[in-house]
Amino acid sequence: MPSERMTLIDEGRVVPLDVTLHGDAVRISPDALAAALGWRLEAQGLCRGDVCVPVRDRAALVSPDGIDLAALARAFDRPLALDADERVAVLGASAAERGARLESLEAPDFALPDLAGRTHALRDQRGKKTLLIAWASW
Amino acid sequence: MYDELGERGFVPVTVALDQSLDAARPYIERAQPKHPALIDTEHVVADLFNIVNVPTMVWIDERGRIVRPNDAQFGTDTFVALTGRPSAPFLAAIRRWVLRGEGAMPAEDVRADQVLPSREQQEARAEFTLAWYLHQRGSAAAAARHFERAGRLAPGDWTIRRGSLPIRGIDSMASEEFLALWQEGVPRYPTRDLPES
């Protein structure tokens, strides 16, 4: 099956990905996965650098067509939003990971631009009492 | 407030959960803030802090610890008739926190009041990200489907349900869609009341 170019958004990072489509199933060759996201399938599970995530259902993850994107998201316990027709997928953040970070009570850091395009990180305010105010024009 | 408390070790960091700089720009330009006034078109902060509506305030101490979790408070009385939440007790509580060190919650109380994101909530955020990307790319019909799906997954999240209205060309205040949201009820955080003086 010929491969197609898809866009994957991985926690904000927009990554082009060569895949094959089987209905709504998206499969990625091990090499394409390693090139795009850095994960390799090893005996211990999915590994990137020193980190390995065990894979419970290897049969669902791996087929002759490649690694299944939905099963990959499940292995990482991360949500996957997919529009196969539009060739776009989003790997979101795991609820467990986000919850654990909030429960640690250490304010998660972020860096965002102001209107002038200057980036500010929350960390820059260490040493001050900081009131984080989320608002919107809507 | 910053003029008064900025020299006492206090800083507000405002984050606009708006999909276009131009939507947030007039408010920021009018306020001429000297503190960081940031724009979060991708809802990064909503995802990290599990923010489901605006305004949402989080108190963070000098060490970067959350000492009062997500809470809907108002720095002005512009919407007090609708919200029933006057700004004066909130502003007084901020003053006491900054000047006298009062009002930070013990860790166990912060944890008790925090709402952690559900799996559906995180699925909804992924759907919202997908919808916003598709919209920016010009695929409005596909985007609308994913905005809808995001809203169904997280019905109590107005950053998704109300925040996506202007993107879809729907008025976020004077529209049937907003009226329907309003009748369902404004999302609320269970954070305990502010300490009184």
What pLDDT band is residue B3 in, cutting at 50, 70 and 90?
confident
Tokens (6 digits) for B110? 């912060």
Task: Please report, for residues A19, A135, B1, B61, the alpha-carbon distance to residue B121 in angstroms, rounded to integers and kept in the order given.
Answer: 28, 20, 34, 27
Taking the CA of residue B170 and the nearest CA in chain A, the distance in Å comes to: 11
Confidence of residue B122 (pLDDT cuts 50, 70, 90): very high
Using an 8 Å CB-CB cutoff, list chain A residues near B136.
none
Residue B7 CB: number of other CB atoms within 10 A? 8
pLDDT for A128 equals 98
Evaluate whether B160 touches B151 at the Cβ level (below 8 Å).
yes
pLDDT of res. B124: 98
Taking CB atoms and an 8 Å cutoff, what residues of chain B touch A92? Answer: 47, 122-123, 125-126, 129
Q: H helices of chain B, where? A: 2-5, 21-31, 44-49, 80-83, 87-100, 107-113, 119-136, 140-153, 158-161, 176-184
Question: Scanning every residue of chain A, which has its alpha carbon at the shortest distance from the alpha carbon of B133?
Answer: A88
Across chain B, what does the average pLDDT equal? 95
Taking 70 as the pLDDT cut, the residues of chain A under it are 1
Mutate one of B13, B102, B139 to test the A interface: name it (highest A CB count within 10 A).
B13
The Cα of B98 is separated from the nearest Cα of chain A by a number of Å equal to: 7
d(CA B42, CA B162) in angstroms, rounded, equals 15
Let me know: does B94 contact B73? Beta carbons within 8 Å. no
DSSP state of B131: H
Share of chain B above pLDDT 70, in %: 99
CB pairs under 8 A between A and B: 216
C-alpha B32 chain-centroid distance: 20
Residues 6+ apart with CB under 8 A from B25: A115
In this prediction, residue B89 carries a pLDDT of 94
> What is this structure's pTM?
0.96
Q: Give the distance from residue B63's alpha carbon to the nearest chain A alpha carbon, in angstroms.
A: 6
Local structure of B136: helix, strand or coil: helix
Among candidate residues A92, A94, A93, A87, the one with its CA nearest the CA of residue A16: A87
Q: Across the interface, which of A92, A122, A131 has its CB nearest the CB of B122?
A: A92
Per-residue pLDDT at B197 exceeds 80: no
Among A92, A94, A95, beta carbon nearest to B129? A92
Q: For B2-113, CATH number? A: 3.40.30.10
Q: How confident is the model at residue B74 (pLDDT cuts 50, 70, 90)?
A: very high
pLDDT score recorded for residue A24: 87
Question: Does B147 have pLDDT greater than 90?
Answer: yes
Contact A133 B107 (CB under 8 A): no
Residue B28: CB atoms within 10 A of its CB come to 19
Best probe of the B interface among A26, A72, A104, A133, by most B CBs < 10 A, is: A133
- Quote the DSSP letter at residue B37: E
Can you tell me the mean pLDDT for B144-152?
A: 98
Of A86, A106, A134, the CB nearest to B17: A134
Nearest-CA distance from B131 to chain A in Å? Answer: 9
Q: Strands across the sheet with A62-63, in order?
A: A62-63, A66-68, A25-28, A13-22, A4-10, A88-91, A80-83
Predicted pLDDT at A11:
85
Chain B, 80 to 119: residues with Cβ < 8 Å from chain A are: 94, 97-98, 107, 110-111, 114, 116-119
Question: Order of strands across the sheet with A51-53?
Answer: A40-42, A45-48, A51-53
**Could you tell me which chain A residue has the CA closest to the CA of B73?**
A133
Check A95 against B116: CB less than 8 A apart: yes
Within A38-110, where are the H helices?
58-61, 69-75, 95-103
A32's enclosing H/E stretch is helix A30-37
Per-residue tokens: B143: 């985007």
Q: Which residues contact B67 (CB under 8 A, 6 or more apart)?
A: B59, B60, B61, B104, B105, B110
pLDDT of residue B176 exceeding 80, the answer is yes
